[in-house]
Every structure is written in structure tokens, then in C-alpha cells.
Structure 1
Amino acid sequence: MNSSMKKTVLALALTSATLIASAPSYAEVTANASVTSNYIWRGLTQTTNDAAVQGGIDYADESGFYVGTWVSNVNYGADDVYSYEHDMYFGFSGESGDITYDVGYLYYNYDSEANFDFAEVYGSVGYGGLSATLSLLAHTEADEGEGRDYGFAQASYISVDYGMPVLNGAELGLHVGYHQGDFAEDFNGVPDGYADWGVSIAKDGFSFAVTGTDLDDTGADAYDNDSIKFSVGYGVDFEL
């Protein structure tokens, strides 16, 4: 998911995981809207490689407190039945010298078609363009299967991101992450923990990204998560 945890144009882990920003100088309410050719989350498609329309609203206070909501269409099956993802989150971000930090809570809400609501707590620290983020499973409505453990912190996602300006005002983003735990495996439909990576270029609201994972063929042709994916998107932010 910027300073208020809203997702970016491509909803990439390499940007959405970068929760770092200094506290705003005054309270503000902002909104965002975007379209993307493929909603990628932690290296995996959330739309069976189809397009997504996304948007959200954020409130950020000068104290560093923020709260927001974000929504996107998703598709977790091969039968073209579309669902939605509705995220709600709050947290606190700030800085101490050259170090930035962000901690918060994020709830992922889905309709009955997906039926896998869950929440995470997250923390992130950064220095310059470099940041590291840890997200831990907080709770879920999903029922545990036999021998599975969906308890607190029994699933985690850790990532490292780096962003830097390049030619003509564009920004290059680099990302690596690792998702593991019984819940992560069951939610993502993968047989084990996995690593993901991404490279993105963004300028003036336009984004292009290349992402991939270390997964072997999972047998789900609609997801194709063992292949390198290319995504393009466009997004806008505006004050309310």
C-alpha cells in the first residue's frame, strides 16, 4: 500500500508495502483513483490477470495519525465471477532525524464469493529511499483446516523496498519480499511460502512494472503465478 497505506496504481507489493512517510504539516483529506491492467499483490494476481479499477479516501492528521479505506475489484476463480476487496486501515507515521517509521492495522474485507476476510498489523522503518516492512496476521474469519494454524503472527510478510529518482522526473522502484505461514499458503492457493520481486517505473501518474515469484507451476492456469508479469496503470490523487 504512501503515508496512509493506500494502494498504488498497480497495487504492487513494492509500493504498497512502503508505508513510510513523514507526518503531514497539517490535517488533510485526500482521495485516489486508478486503473491497472493487472492487480498484483505480493507478486500474485488478484484478478486472474484481468484489469482492475481502484480507489480510496484517506485522512491524515499533523500528529502522524491516519485512517483510510480503499476498494478494488478482484477475481479468485476461473469462472469470471468478480468480487471486491475493501480495505480499512489506521496507523501512525512519523520521523526521527533521518529515520522514518510507520505502524498500523489493516483489515481486508471481501464479499461472500471470496469469503476470506483477514487483518494484519504492520510496522515499517526507512532511511532515504530504503525501507523494510513486516506485516503479521492479526486475525481472520476463515476456518482453519486440520493441521493448519491461523493464529496471531502465524503468517507473515517481510519486504525490502528501494525507490530513487531517475531521468526526467521518473522514479524507479525495487522490491523483494517473502510471504509464509499456513494462512498465507491457503489464502494465496500456493503449496508453500514464496518469495516475490518487482521492478517499477512511475512518472506523472503512469506506472509500468515487472513482477515475479519463485513459485513453480501451481496448476492453476487462471493465475499463472509462476510466470513473470507485466503491468501498466494510471492513477490520480486529489484533495477533498
Structure 2
Amino acid sequence: MFKPSLFLLGSLLWYSVAQAQVFQRELGDFDLKLATTPSRSMAQGLVKPSTTGSFHGGLDLSHDSGFYVGQWSPSMGLSPSSNLEVDSYMGFKQPFDHSLGYEVGMIHYSYPKADTLDSQELFGGLTLLGSRFGAAFSNDPDKQNSTLFADLSGNQPFGIGISLKYTTHQLNTPVSVDDGYVGSFTDWSVKLSRPFMGIDLDLIYSDSSLSGSDCSAYSGHNSQCDGLVTLKAAHSFY
């Protein structure tokens, strides 16, 4: 991929906090976006948890041909409990017609100020009548992950958005638990979303194939190994 442009990303984050708006500009055949929200919804929906720090943002440069590159930082690592993360990506997105399109690409995850090895992700998917269906494969330092994803935005009963994610994790080294070893596991999540009086409400149910003492081997996408119901409320001030 390409090395993180930390200076450019830092400038973007400062701009986003100070100006509190999305900056978009056409540069010939290119479209440049600087924003505090991810520009590539397919990649963001597929690959990583959607948690973000207080200071976050990114840039996205796309060409009329469908090719794009960009960087996204979900966290600047300014608090003791968070680390600086820079996600660099590139891909190609193209519609077949007004109702069907496809997207393929890859993402490189780096943590410049932490002792965490970089990882890579390949992803691809289809957009059908406003809904997205995709798959991704990542090679993390300790395991391989295969993910299926669906965002049913094209059909929202009662204005409620529905998204689902299912991931299989294959550990490089089996983890010892009370009754043997865990070499692989799966996790999944279902999210219901609806805006209400300017507030984005999310109801999330997540779970995994592990339970009890086996949860000591869990290192998946969810914040918890066992079944968990989470209610999130977020309000954008711009």
C-alpha cells in the first residue's frame, strides 16, 4: 500500500475539529473529500468495529474512472486508553447500472505509536437497489478473519436500517482453555438503526460461538465474547 501521511492526516483532524464541516472539492477529474466520517461505507462496514475516538477523520481522493485512495483514522490516540490508528486504503468502485454496482479494494491498518503489528484486508461487494452485500479477508498478526456483511439500507421498514456481520476467526496458535484448546471461533452482530429528533439511535446485538471459560480465547470484532445488547445514541453538531 502506501505509508501513512501523518502530517496530512493531522492537518485534516485539526481542520475537522476547528471548522466542524466536510470539505469537498473537485480537482479536474478527481474529487477530494476531507471529513470526520468515513467516505468508503463498504470498507468501513466490512472490516473493523465502528468505534471512534474524540478526534478522528480522514481524506478520500477518487477519480471519475472509479479508482480511489484514502486514509481514515478512527482515533488520534490522545487519551490514555486509545492508540493512534491510521487506515490506508485503495480500491475501485463502479456501477453496472442505476440499481447495481460493485466495489473491490484493500486496506492497510497501522499503529505508529503502539507495539502492534500492521495488518491488511481485502474486500469486495455489490450494491443492489441501495443495499450493500460484501465479503472481506484479513491477515492479522495472530489470526485470519473471513467476514460476510449485509447492509439493508435499500429497504427500511418504519425507517429502521438493518445491518448484519458474520466473521470466522482462525487462530495461528491455538489457545489453551479449561477443557482443551480453541483454534477457531465465529462471532456475529445485528444492528438496528434509526434517526430520532436529530439523534442517531443504534440497537446492537452481538454474540460468538464461545462461552464460559472458552471466552478467554476470544479476540474478535465484538466488545464482549458472550451475548450483549447495546444501545447507542449519537448526535452530530454539524
1:99 offset after TM fit, Å?
Answer: 1.2
Distance in structure 2 (CA, Å) of the matches to 1:213 and 1:120: 22
CA distance in 2, matches of 1:56, 1:180: 29
- Equivalence for 1:194: 187
Q: Give, in whole Å, the separation in 1 of the partners of 2:146 and 2:101.
A: 22
Mapping 1:196-235, distance limit 5 Å = 196-202=189-195, 206-215=199-208, 216=211, 218=215, 223-224=223-224, 226=226, 227-234=228-235
Give 1:129 deviation, angstroms: 2.3
Match of 1:156 in 2: 146
RMSD of the alignment, in Å? 4.0
What's the TM-score, normalizing by structure 1?
0.61
Residue in 2 that maps onto 1:107 = 108
TM-score by structure 2 length? 0.62
Alignment of 1:24-173 (within 5 A): 27-33=30-36, 52-73=54-75, 80-97=80-97, 98-113=99-114, 115-137=116-138, 139-140=139-140, 142=141, 144=142, 150=143, 154-164=144-154, 172-173=160-161
Amino acid at match of 2:75: N
Letter in 1 for 2:151: D
For 2:172 and 2:237, locate their aligned partners in 1 and report how far apart those are by CA, in whole Å. Answer: 31
**Larger Rg: 1 or 2?**
2
Alignment size in residue pairs: 184
Question: Is 2:190–2:205's contact at 8 Å kept on the other side of the alignment?
Answer: yes
Gaps of 5+ in 2: 1-27, 38-44, 175-182
Q: Deviations over 1:178-235 (max 9, x none)?
A: 111225999xxx9721111111124898522122212346469xx4453212223355
Of Structure 1 and Structure 2, the greater helix share is in 2
Assess if the C-alpha contact under 8 Å between 1:101 and 1:124 holds in 2: yes
- Structure showing greater relative contact order (alpha-carbon pairs closer than 8 Å, 6 or more residues apart): 1
Q: 1:160 to 1:184 in 2, by over 3 A?
A: farther
- For structure 1, list consecutive stretches of 5 or more residues without a partner in the other structure: 1-24, 35-39, 145-149
Q: Deviations over 1:85-112 (max 9, x none)?
A: 2100011101112311100011111245
